[in-house]
Structure 1
Amino acid sequence: MGRWSRGRGKAVASPLQSEEGALPLLISPQLATLVDRAPKGGDWSYEVKFDGYRVMTRIERGITQIFTRNGHDWTARMPRIADACNALQVDDAWLDGEAVVLDSGGRPDFNALQNAFDRRSTADIVMFVFDILWLNGVDLREQPLRSRRALLRELMEQATSDAIRFSEDFPQDPVSLVASACKMKLEGIIGKRADAPYRSGRSTDWIKLKCQARQEFVVGGFTRAKGARAGVQSLLLGVHEKDGSLRYAGSVRPYFSSRAASAFLTRADSVRREATAFYNPPKPEKERDYLWLDPSIVVECSFLEWTPGGEVRHPVFHAVRDDKPGSAVSEEPMVTVECDEPVEADAGSTREVAGAKGAVKIGGIRITNPQRVLDEVTGHTKRELVEYYSAIAEWALPYLHNRPLALVRAPEGIKGELFFQKHSERARIPGVVELPPELHPRHPPLLVAGSEQALVGLAQMSVIEIHTWNAVAPDLEHPDRIIFDLDPDPALPWTAMLEAASLMKVVLDEIGLHSFLKTSGGKGFHIVVPLTRRQGWSETKAFAHGVAKHIAHVVPQRFSAVLGPKNRVGKIFIDYLRNSRGASTVAAFSVRARPGMGVSMPVSWDELGEISRGDEWTMTKTVERQRSLKKDPWQGYWQTRQGITAAMRRAVGLA
């Protein structure tokens, strides 16, 4: 096609062959589809998912118009970006990008963007441009993404203002990119087929992988304290079903500033209605007043997960959104990546798939009987168990790496018959690997789980508890840890457990051993002592027994080192027997097959006094905690280098 220019400055060259024609008045953006995991193959390009407003920019004869994704003209609201686009050396163009405000660390800050618009102080807003759809009379949308972006990069190199910037793509694998994005507190990443044309609307040529669930909701009402004349306690969130009806999806505390609260109440007063628009409104509470609204105000929230009943767990309010109409808000569907390809869900929405009685797919694995109730106390289903092990995989897998498994299965729920399993027993579990038979002679091969797929596969087999050896393959003859299980007399108060754990730490510190603490997910605590693999099983178990007897001798009124209920009346049995070859202990982050389905949770010694019970952490609370932690409670575990010395043996009375 040659070169084009407005006759002032360098022109932009384009080798692309397309039809020339009139510049479109409006182009709808291409939208990304939420997927459960990244494709392993294919020609994909990955970019940061910016936390801002999607903007489509039209330039004609040096005059720029900036539109929202729904076609609203916001040019006057972003004059600095418009001026920067006016200065580009083009006759006409359509650009696709995202308007953001960056914080001091260079990360997009949605609240700062919202505040900039609210205060009409938009000088800090920048636009990251990631696609070009039209240039100087040429429609580029049928050209592959890689060609469009090569041309866009050349154009953006001529930009004279940092108000518009090129959105870089990254060559790293998407799993590492998502992990990095999450550590940087970004929203996630966007994947795009590098060989695909531009298509307005949602498709699987563009995909998004998020650090946490996050989407828009329409506000169907709000609550305030009973009898109060002002204020907002919580927003009542909704999403539209396929038939247009409004489903109640939970409530969220908005934490408005005084200015934002006034603006919200002004808008709310203009759309008040007498009756609820929800077909399934929340049950009223006596201490609250409910004020119903036409479903037109849109807010954005992040949340932990969807419940089987279609509500959000632990939502967090982010902002009111002015760039999207309430009528367009529905539950964002997630599609499964199968055979390295994103596959559109047949049912059309996540909720319909989740509510089906038949099988669903999670992490690419077919989950049968997803709605089977495993625990009648909490109502937890098999699907919730599978989703938990999928969500917790990144934290659990380091403690499972190459470690032989012992599994507790509950095909009929935890009140039914439980099965203990160490071998595959002719049933192949996706992702679970068998160790070489020579590592455990005269026995069937041992199993290890080293991937998210393996954890999902185990949960599909109704595995609730995951227990592990105290050694890792290929060296199964030298344990790499000692575990003490504090097993109390059920009549003892919880304060006795806290005191016992603290005393154990003091003794281990005096011996010279660093220790780490986790709840058992049941009645007590596990104290884990990492070791360099120098001693064999008999020496390690003898030392663990010696420690238990030493503590029971020093504090006989608190501890027992002898097995049996009669020996722990009013005391806590220090169970050292888990340190034999082939013995196992429930793994960190494993669920327990007990009423409530508590989780064995690693905690720091500094947190000991705050723990209220051994099964304090549920599946939901565990995932929420891990996603919010700023510091690993077991910091230093993997760097600990210590072994059993002669002085340590003497300290506990061993020869």
Structure 2
Amino acid sequence: MAGAKKSVKKTAGKKAASKTSAAKKAPRKSLAKAKPISSNRASDAVDEQLERYRSMRDFQVTAEPSGGSEKTKNEVEHLPFCIQKHAASHLHYDFRLGWNGVLKSWAVAKGPSYFTGDKRLAVQVEDHPMEYGGFEGIIPAGQYGGGTVMLWDQGTWEPQPGHEDVDKGLRDGSLKFVMHGTKIKGKWALIRMGGKAANERKPNWLLIKEHDEFERGEADPCVTVDEPNSVVTGRTMDQIAHNEDHVWNSKDTAKGKAWYRQVGRSETSEEAESAAIEKKRSMNVSAFEKSLSKLPKEHQPSFIAPQLALQAISPPTGEGWLHELKLDGYRMQARKDGSGVQMLTRKGLDWTDRVRSVANEVAKLAVDKVTLDGEVVVLAENGTTNFADLQASFQDGATNLLTYFCFDLLHVDGHNMRELPLKQRKEMLGNVLDGANGDHLRMSEHLETNGEELFHKACELHAEGIVSKKAMGRYSSGRSGDWLKMKCLHEQEFVVGGFTLPSNGIQGVGALLLGYYRDGKLIYAGRTGTGFTQKTHKILRKKLDELIESTTPFEQLPGDAKRGAKWVRPELVVQVRFATWTADNLVRQAAFLGVREDKSAREVVREEATVAPRPKRSGKTTFDAKPSEKIAAAHIVKGGVAAKNLTTMEHAPVRLTHPSKILDETSGLTKQMLADYYWAVAEDMLPHIADRPLSLVRCPEGSGKPCFFQKHVNAMLPPGIGSVDIADKNGKIEPYITLSTAEALAGLAQMGVLEVHPWGSRNEDLEHPDRLIFDLDPDETLDWNVLTGAAADVRKRLKAIGLESFLKTTGGKGLHVVVPIAPKLDWPEAKEFAHEFVNVMEKANPSLYLTKMTKSARKGKIYLDYLRNERGATSVAPFSPRARAGGPVSLPLKWSDLKLPERPVFRVAEFESWKGRLKTDPWKAMVGMKQSIPAEALDRVRTRRSA
């Protein structure tokens, strides 16, 4: 390696030119796809790689452990690199450059990207032994880096001309190099981040693709998605984990040979299955090509919120409907990506391990990427479905045969199927499922016949009911009249709020006290005392004993319901079948079917039947769903605030559950009204929150109930919400919420988001703020004119140093003065400037201004809060509601508004009365404004910091 290092400095320019020239002759995206090979050949290939990387080691350069007993010196002409796909505590890519006999290493959460606009966070980790660069296999659980390791790419690298001094580049935090790999080619750069990130225990760098003939556009598929498998063996992560042919003991790295080869699991049957799959694929691909070529392209979604059916009293009449038997199981989305399969519940939970037999059959389908919608069931002897047996399979380990009935096709090989009519989707679904094992994987067939006759026949056969779907309907997430469900017997989920003890003395339950949620309150719905087995008695009792409470969770109870009851926290959800609802709104002849682990208690409501689908409307409209929704939208007047102002607003094009749910009792604000408001102000609000990390204040039960902050992404977020990876102070990568579309903003209403708080920097440059915020927080005894005078004072002082500023209400008693700046300062400098600025104000008028947070000292004063100007701090966004009574809004003001006689208050529910302000947005000029803080002001800050 030492020799290699010297030769690089002499010939790097020449080699780079020749290899770049050669690379230009190849197609820009001709990245090779390695085909999977047999287990023995794969193991041999890994052995060869380990030996190859060991031979690259020059032990005279460094005393790093070899991982092997023999020491060889082998001068390598080209510097090696490898990228390992590593499923440890989270999936990431280890980017490793061979240098000075070791692998300089960075952990890249999302892996490399050929789009030059992507700046992928790369956390520098400890150097690794050169031999590790050839490793593919398993690191045992409990050891450092425990998990599965894939050799995703490898090749050689060299410094770019003018950047041959690699040691200097590592010291200075700027590496520029050319890659010659199978998947990764061309010019790249690693740039160490400045500011706080530079001082982390594990320094943060950015991995960036530089402009050349290999770069890709933003809309092009990412190379990590396009090329997911091993560059050496062609295996997937699952296949490597399954085979377990090589093991690396991290704890033995310093002792000598850290890896060993063991006899892998036989793949004889797998090879035969692989050949069969390839044969099927070759036969089916040509049949799909013509149909798929006309469909819009897309990256395969990680999860698609399911389309749901409305409960109906009777089937629809007339033509244009497809009728399917209603299945009694768990709704699941099957997502196949290569040989990897996920089985996701209706809320996006991964239940693959619970239905492994089904997942294995989905993996054999003759398409590379597909997303299916269907239901996992256990078939009874009479051909119907048995939910109790299904639940026993999940909870008791019963060995019932699981069958996945597929009824929709959402994505195939990079194409969006959801815009096709349902009838055409099902035709193509039949092709996808052709040849599948019918025991585990079946098509949910339909009939185009009289819906009422089919419904009666289904009930005669003791089926649960039918689902009727519009033949020409597109797939649309959420509940709509395009899908209707009719049940022969009533059946739905209920929340258990209490139980009674059995009279026979067994360790179980006598009856379950059932309920459902309405407007955030648990409504009593009666009880069920049948349907239990010996096993379910024990399971239920154990679960309920852990939830016992001293008081009832129900809003109201009839007197006889309290007799002998033991109350529990309302967390357990059960499936119940019953004959009908009584006049007292209680279930009649109810029988327990099983525990629902895929449903949260708070989403359980009483299922209401409808007669027919309602026609869709567009443009401006009023609510016309349920009478209760009309009342909520048009007639609620509380505290002098009229909610009817929003009834002429355009509805946001997002799916909401319980749109009439009240989120603010004072103003009558509903979930639908909140979504419509976000949709109406999106054009003005997005420039200040888009492509920034966000913290959201969620109030699921409304402004008067407990609320909480959410800043990290999860599977429960609505469509359109993205993520940005941010390293915390310990170097741990966390996915923060971010968004950029009006649909995503409006979708926040579904989560009960009553406040949006952005960072003061953008995703593309997180370490350099592009705005400063001065928060003027007055004591409640101060008059409005005192606060306006302070805001004018801030503006005057900023103007004196050449900075324009902008004003807004906080939605509370204070004001924000915001200064747009060019993203040049790091966070500590920005914070120090803001601190010094308010200190000067405090010294000039100590009787009015205060810069410390001590509440006891704030009486009669204005707290000048400068702490919004530090990394990770947020402030409420312009146009954002606040989670306070009345639903006030943080609204941009003109400076002339300081002359108003009293503090202006703007509420979401009164949007109609103040929406005219959007025509002359006083913050419009802020977008694109790049001011710089004067050098002399910064010099004072820097002097203070150094002191």
The structure whose Rg is larger is 2
**TM superposition score normalised by structure 1:** 0.50
**TM superposition score normalised by structure 2:** 0.35
Higher helix share: 2
